[in-house]
Amino acid sequence: MPSLSRWIDLTREKPRVTFQQLIDFKDESEALYELLALLIEVDFQQRTLFKDWTIHDVIAHLHIFNWAAEESIRDGDSFVRFYKGLGRRRKEEGLTLRESTDLWLDENENSVRNRELLDVWREYYLGMAERLADVDPRMRVRWAGPDMSVRSSLTARLMETWAHAQEVYDLLGVERVDKDRIKNIAFLGMNTFGWTFKNRKLNVPENVPHVRLTAPSGEIWEWNEPDVENCVIGSATEFCQVVAQTRNIADTELSVIGDTATHWMSIAQCFAGLPEDPPAAGSRQRVG
């Protein structure tokens, strides 16, 4: 029979290691799920103001890239094969991103669509949050662009979930109430200042603007030294909307002062991929 101290060691629950970005990703996904949970099957074919995507298209896109992000953590070479294969197939078969995503669902998720896909997506991200809870957030992983940390990968999943949720909130006419977890997206927006210009083959300005944002909670978030001639000041939600390209800067109340700040806010892009232009002024807004 083991000693009392040994028995205590054997029965003591091992503490789980996790990190805030993983928790925030799960919580942001849950917020979107709660918005969609009461919809009926036909509702998922409503078209949003984002490239005519339906609600089904949004959930399908989030699901496939949640899977891809976890695969990059589990097996980087497998992720690269998936990503290259996806691109090759789109080119060879002339598929849109939405079409290639539905084809992936046909081949990997028994052709789930709409309401059924909503439940599959939720089951997967909840399981993903559990499976990654004890992964080292500093570990480097492969991605479509440069390698990144697991922490950055989950920040990107949070950002994309939050950004694509916006077109759903807009379509359903629901006023969104953000939480301070969007600070992850604001950080991402700041960290991609230089990349936004490099991605367009433009010289990166040396005078990075001062940014002062009011969080949903009322807390003030600031980056860089105060500079009244080169700054972005205002709502953290609106700043995140601009850098994630869910709103045109003209459709916000952000105060943008100076040439560098103005140029940045006109092309800001906190997500990977080829340069994308922000939505035209007035084209993305809440319905009703």
Q: Output the DSSP codes for 156-168.
A: HHHHHHHHHHHHH
Q: How many alpha carbons fall within 13 Å on the CB side of residue 147?
A: 9
- pLDDT for res 206: 95
Q: What is the largest CA-CA distance in the chain?
A: 75
- pLDDT for res 185: 98
Of 10-14, 146-150, 263-267, the poorest mean pLDDT is in: 10-14
Positive or negative torsion for Cα 279, 273, 60, 242:
negative
- How many Å apart are CA 201 and CA 254, to the nearest integer? 26
For range 257-276, the mean pLDDT? 96
Which tokens is 182 given? Answer: 């969007």
pLDDT in tens, 154-180: 999 999 999 999 999 999 999 999 999
Which tokens is 95 given? Answer: 């598929």
Please give the model's pTM, rounded to 2 decimal places. Answer: 0.92
Question: Is pLDDT above 70 for 16?
Answer: no
- pLDDT for res 18: 87
Positive or negative torsion for Cα 50, 100, 28, 217:
negative
Q: What is the DSSP letter of 133?
A: T
- pLDDT for res 17: 61
Q: Are strands 231-235 and 210-214 parallel, antiparallel or unpaired?
A: parallel
Structural domain boundaries in the chain: 20-176, 185-267
- pLDDT for res 2: 35
> pLDDT > 70: what percent of the chain?
94
Q: How many alpha carbons fall within 13 Å on the CB side of residue 274?
A: 0
- How many Å apart are CA 60 and CA 53, to the nearest integer? 10
Q: How many alpha carbons fall within 13 Å on the CB side of residue 218?
A: 0
Question: Is pLDDT above 70 for 47?
Answer: yes
Question: Is pLDDT above 80 for 15?
Answer: no
Superfamily for domain range 20-176 = dinb family like domain (1.20.120.450)
pLDDT in tens, 187-238: 999 999 999 999 999 999 999 999 999 999 999 999 999 999 999 999 999 9
Positions of E strands within 51-113: none
pLDDT in tens, 73-122: 999 999 999 999 999 999 999 999 999 999 999 999 999 999 999 999 99
Positions of E strands within the chain: 140-141, 148-149, 210-214, 220-223, 231-235, 255-257
The one-letter amino acid code at 120 reads V
The one-letter amino acid code at 155 reads T
Question: Is pLDDT above 70 for 183?
Answer: yes
Helix axes 236-243, 183-191, angle to 10 degrees: 50
| Cβ-contact 35, 169 below 8 angstroms | yes
Give the residue from 64, 145, 48 showing the smallest Cα distance to 97.
64
Q: Average pLDDT over the chain, rounded to whole?
A: 93
